[in-house]
Amino acid sequence: MTAAAGPLLLEMLAARWAGGWQPVELAWFVRRTVGGSAGRVLVAALRIDAGVVAAADVHPAWRAQLTELGVEVPERPAPPRPDWLRHAALGAVSLGRDPAPLLDLVGVLGRLPHLQVLLPPPGRPDIALDVEASSPDAASSIDPQVLARVRALLAKAESTTFEAEAQAFTAKAHELMTRHSLEHSMVAAAAGGAGEHPTARRLLIDDPYAGAKSLLVQVIAEATRCRAVSLGSLQMSTVVGFEADLAGVEVLFTSLLVQAQTALQELARVSRPGSRERSRGFRSSFLHGFSHRIGVRLEAGRDAAVADVDREQGGALVPVLAERGDEVDDQLRTLFPQLSSFRRGGPSDSLGWHAGSDAAERAELPWAHLQPSG
């Protein structure tokens, strides 16, 4: 069985790409479900898989994911070689004396469901995309200078040990992204859309409390003119929207999740072992309360920011945003024609809910700092 697993693995990778999976998603899911050893086998397979395509034929976002995993895409593809050589190379790299990781990996890949195809797999022009492909960091719709300033601010926020300073840096980055997105909407509308269409990205939701964290994605997306769909047991959320808005969702989610986790850690620090504040029910309810209150604040801030820019534009912004919102909704229905809603399980600890809501009230957001330019 082991001898056949190598060839089967490479075939299954091709099938997973056709089924919408992307390299980082696959590596994250494999490591989460069967551990790091199987993840290392996967990376070895990815190196062999990537060796037969040229960099020019790999979408920038796909290439960025491979780079993140330590897989280099050659500028020129390797010379064609028989399949048995590829299979032998995989076996030499990954099998060693213990075939279990390879067999675990094959088992996981065989159980994965199909996803929407959001990026073109390398060397597979026959695979149709379900949505216009997203570009890395929304670079196609964000001014490079704005993007550089946002990244610099976030780097400072990540490097400082002072919470207030980190929040200030993060808030300024949010402010730049929000205002730029609104102004970009007007520029795109003046250019007749300039070929811009809604696209989609998938966000990975780590344990623990993945359900509460996916709620945070949803409320951020709604307040950022996007739509989010939770993929349930896969612990992913698909976010649909325009490029600049999708980048804003990612920035907000990352920052606010860090703030929520920091608040939880502080509660744990001052609470005695075995106390209610350290229980799973309290912590899950905390994140639900945090998400709910953040959603309220974001919606209010969104309305205030839109009103500011709309006044600057002489009332022209609101109709543009309405039209773009309709496009996002249409794209959502195309991607998820049988989408259904459900009631999430509510918080089990009222104290945790209120503590999370209070933390959200204290969380630093950009909206209070927005001022009309001019």
Q: If you write DSSP's letter for every residue of 79-140 in order, what string do you get? A: PP--HHHHHHHHHHHHTTT--HHHHHHHHHHHHPPP----SPPTT-TTSPPSSPPPPGGGTT
* Mean local confidence (pLDDT), 262-287: 76
Report the alpha-carbon distance of residue 127 to residue 129 in Å, rounded.
Answer: 7
User: Which of the 8 DSSP states describes residue 284?
Assistant: H
Least confident of 57-71, 243-257, 266-280, 321-335: 266-280
Structure tokens at 2: 């082991």
Q: Closest Cα partner for 10 from 54, 48, 52?
A: 48
Under the banding of pLDDT at 50, 70 and 90, the label for residue 57 is confident
* Mean local confidence (pLDDT), 225-231: 94
Instruction: Please determine, for residue 277, whether its predicted confidence score (pLDDT) is greater than 60.
Output: yes
Structure tokens at 123: 């060397």
pLDDT for 353: 52
Instruction: Please determine, for residue 121, whether its predicted confidence score (pLDDT) is greater than 50.
Output: yes
Give the number of other Cβ atoms within 10 Å of residue 24's Cβ: 17
* Mean local confidence (pLDDT), 166-174: 65
Instruction: Please determine, for residue 88, whether its predicted confidence score (pLDDT) is greater than 60.
Output: no
Instruction: Please determine, for residue 347, whether its predicted confidence score (pLDDT) is greater than 70.
Output: no
Instruction: Please determine, for residue 356, whether its predicted confidence score (pLDDT) is greater than 70.
Output: no
pLDDT for 73: 87
**Residue that the structure tokens 């773009």 belong to:** 324
Tell me the average pLDDT of the chain: 79
Q: Closest Cα partner for 45 from 77, 69, 74?
A: 69
pLDDT for 374: 35
Under the banding of pLDDT at 50, 70 and 90, the label for residue 227 is very high
Instruction: Please determine, for residue 364, whether its predicted confidence score (pLDDT) is greater than 80.
Output: no
